[in-house]
Amino acid sequence: MEELIRKYNIPDGFYTRYFKQNAEFRYGVELLQFLYFKCGKFLNPSKKDFYINTYINEEIDNFYNKNQINLPHLSFCITTKCSLKCKDCGSLIPLFNEHGHISISLEEFKENLDKILASVNKIRRLILFGGEPLLYNDLDKLIDYSCKKENIDIVQIITNGTIIPDKKILKALVDNNKKVYLHISNYSATKDVYLKLKHNKIRELLKDYDIKLQMDDGGGWLKEFGFSNEKSNPETTIKKYKKCFCSHCTQVLNNKMYVCSKGSCAIELKLVDADDYVDLKNSKNLKQDIIDFYNKDYLKACEYCISSDTIVMPALQN
């Protein structure tokens, strides 16, 4: 691999943000496809490093010799409306309650997705995210539209577990149950929200319909400190970005592709002044803009972002 990095003179940031992420997401997606949807082949977790190295080599070949680009992961913030008001929300969602909410229209979603898919060969994992995506009226249509795209490998809906999917959403999940699954962010250890959680009902319902459900272990969150008025220097920002668990979270919000959910919301809320997103509506060469986006060691929002090492309970409410 070192040889290929030298041969193509691959910058460190591009290697990490593009090739390594593609390989890691490909491994995770292929494993899920086998476990949830019985397609593809079993990847032995004890050989994970071998698969990742193989996939990095293939991705380098795809990019430099076959002119192909693949998005490792893309999350659409379909609405900033949420049923909770978490103090340490990593997307700063409660701030939209005063600012005014942003929700994507069905037409915008289709336009954004079609444009992206016309410029890239594949999206490995597409996420429909919020706020709380189950508050979005046309979620069923977004699920249907995304799952019909052959060059999207897997679709994940991330919910906070406070809302039971209605009949329309259940139908879309059933109709597409070889590609889509629901993920519940698990806040059950937190008293503030415990009574609002509908985990058991959701679990039973999805089991009846054979819809795949994933739930995380509900571990602690990092305390959210927002943004500073002063920017950090490039060396510190690179370190901050490399350590940040959001660094793989490319997110679309308001027709722009941003570094992560926190960065995207901060820019839309005008807490940070940055223009280094991919403009999905006005781009004249989207493929090149996406390559340039992944070629950055970090994005401007990262310069102002205050990182955190303080662990707190998940979903503590304001």
Instruction: Please report, as ranges, the residues that interact with ligand SF4 according to CB under 6 A.
Output: 82, 84-86, 89, 91, 93-94, 130-132, 160, 240-241, 244, 246-247, 259-260, 262-263, 301-302, 305, 315
Residues 6+ apart with CB under 8 A from 34: 40, 41, 42, 43
Q: Answer for the pair 80, 101: CB distance below 8 angstroms, yes or no.
A: yes
Nearest to 28 by CA among 176, 160, 154: 154
Alpha-carbon distance 315 to 318, whole Å? 9
- C-beta of 89 vs 152, nearer to ligand SF4: 89
Nearer to ligand SF4, 246 or 252 (CB): 246
Q: Which is nearer to ligand SF4, 180 or 305 (CB)?
A: 305
Nearest distance, CB of residue 303 and ligand SF4, angstroms: 8
**Residue number with CB closer to ligand SF4 (31 or 238):** 238
Q: Kindly tell me which of 10 and 82 has the beta carbon lying closer to ligand SF4.
A: 82
Sequence-distant (≥ 6) Cβ neighbours of residue 210 within 8 angstroms: 174, 177
Residue 119 burial (CB count, 10 A): 19
Cβ 193 to ligand SF4 shortest distance, Å: 8
Compute the least distance from the CB of residue 312 to ligand SF4, in Å. Answer: 12
Measured from the CB atom, the residue of 167 and 270 that comes closer to ligand SF4 is 270
- Between 116 and 305, whose beta carbon lies closer to ligand SF4? 305
Write down the least CB distance from residue 95 to ligand SF4, Å: 10
Question: Least distance to ligand SF4 from the beta carbon of 245, Å?
Answer: 8
Instruction: Provide the minimum distance between the beta carbon of 178 and ligand SF4 in the complex, in angstroms, as a whole number.
Output: 28
Angle, CA of 211, 213 and 217, to the nearest 5°: 175
Radius of gyration of the chain measured on its C-alpha atoms: 19
Decide: 262 and 91 in contact? Cβ < 8 Å.
Answer: yes
Rounded Cα–Cα distance for residues 119 and 71 (Å): 10
Whichever of 141 and 240 has its CB closer to ligand SF4, that residue is 240
Q: What CA–CA distances, in Å, run from 157 to 39, 97, 213, 271?
A: 20, 22, 10, 27
Is 27 or 304 the residue whose CB approaches ligand SF4 more closely?
304
